[in-house]
């Protein structure tokens, strides 16, 4: 019976894997087709003549600039969000002060604010401080919107850290800053891997804020740059597919890397000999 159970489990997991991987494979095949083959042939068929020039076409269309903008904006916003959220969560859960509950409540209010309702106020604010068409406005917005969910994820983990670790560090003469950066941050590495993935996926795929605040081609990201391949009379769908493949690959690689980090150290002891 146990062997049958394992067999059924592996079959179910295999089916789930197929359903997860198939859209990526279909997108790759889609990127190698022409417009005529996409609309005239079987959408699930292999390309008759792979059009690798679709990938050259998107790079000629400026995707290199969009790709680099997506990388550094996503990386900077993710690092700042994790750092600020970690500091805030540490102060709320590990330090005693009167307004900690109020500050936590104000941060959690951010989860209830819809993105579209804040577009006009944010636009007016950035316009008044000359940050329209400036990547800094995108970074600030990403950090602000991702802060509540990141704090919420870190909150449960920080409350489980034994107080004895902090007490031992303080007795040894450690300052609060050294305690946070040398002890608390390394301990919270597994849960931070989860928050990194969540932040990267949101920042990389975000469209509304970039499309609203950025107008210069040199500052646009991949999600907005895809529009360059959509024309008034004709759309190059093969080039769009190639752009989507290029935009998906970094997130897949990042997830494969951090997924192992998530599992490491979850059940390990916080105190190392």
For residue 169, being part of any structural domain is answered with: yes
For residue 16, being part of any structural domain is answered with: no
pLDDT > 70? residue 58 = yes
pLDDT digits (tens, 9 = 90+) for 195-222: 888 899 899 989 899 999 998 888 999 8
For residue 22, being part of any structural domain is answered with: no
Mean pLDDT of 240-248: 86
For residue 152, being part of any structural domain is answered with: yes
For residue 4, being part of any structural domain is answered with: no
* pLDDT for 268: 38
Q: Got the DSSP string for 151-217?
A: HHHHHHHHTTS-HHHHHHHHHTT--HHHHIIIIIHHHTHHHHHHHHHHHHHHHHH--HHHHHH--SG
For residue 53, being part of any structural domain is answered with: no
Residue 121's alpha-carbon distances to 158, 161, 166, 236, in angstroms, are 34, 39, 42, 36
Task: Report how far residue 131's alpha carbon sits from residue 138's, in angstroms, rounded to the nearest whole number.
Answer: 9
Total domains, the chain: 1
For residue 19, being part of any structural domain is answered with: no
Range of the domain at 194: 63-263
pTM for the full predicted model: 0.82
For residue 12, being part of any structural domain is answered with: no
- From first CA to last CA, the distance across the chain in angstroms is 43
**CATH code of the domain in which 228 resides:** 1.10.3720.10
Q: At what angle do helices 100-109 and 135-158 cross, to 10 degrees?
A: 130
> How would residue 270 be classed by pLDDT, with cut points 50, 70 and 90?
very low
């Amino acid at each position: 019976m146990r062997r049958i159970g394992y067999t059924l489990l592996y079959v179910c997991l295999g089916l789930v894997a197929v359903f997860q991987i198939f859209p990526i494979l279909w997108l790759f095949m889609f990127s190698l087709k022409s417009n005529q083959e996409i609309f005239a042939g079987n959408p699930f068929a292999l390309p008759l003549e792979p059009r690798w020039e679709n990938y050259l076409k998107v790079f000629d269309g400026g995707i290199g600039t969009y790709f680099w903008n997506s990388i550094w904006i996503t990386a900077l916003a993710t690092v700042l969000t994790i750092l600020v959220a970690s500091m805030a969560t540490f102060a709320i859960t590990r330090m005693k002060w009167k307004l900690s509950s109020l500050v936590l409540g104000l941060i959690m209010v951010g989860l209830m604010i819809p993105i579209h309702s804040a577009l006009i106020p944010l636009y007016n604010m950035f316009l008044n401080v000359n940050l329209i068409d400036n990547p800094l406005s995108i970074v600030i917005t990403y950090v602000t919107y991702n802060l509540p969910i990141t704090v919420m994820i870190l909150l449960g983990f920080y409350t489980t850290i034994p107080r004895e670790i902090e007490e031992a560090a303080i007795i040894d003469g450690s300052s609060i800053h050294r305690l946070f950066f040398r002890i608390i941050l390394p301990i919270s590495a597994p849960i931070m891997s989860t928050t990194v993935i969540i932040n990267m996926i949101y920042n990389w795929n975000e469209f509304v804020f970039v499309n609203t605040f950025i107008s210069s081609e040199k500052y646009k990201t991949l999600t907005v740059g895809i529009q360059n391949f959509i024309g008034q009379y004709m759309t190059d769908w093969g080039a769009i597919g190639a752009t989507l493949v290029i935009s998906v690959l970094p997130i897949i690689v990042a997830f494969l890397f951090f997924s192992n980090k998530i599992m490491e150290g979850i059940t390990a002891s916080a105190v190392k000999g």
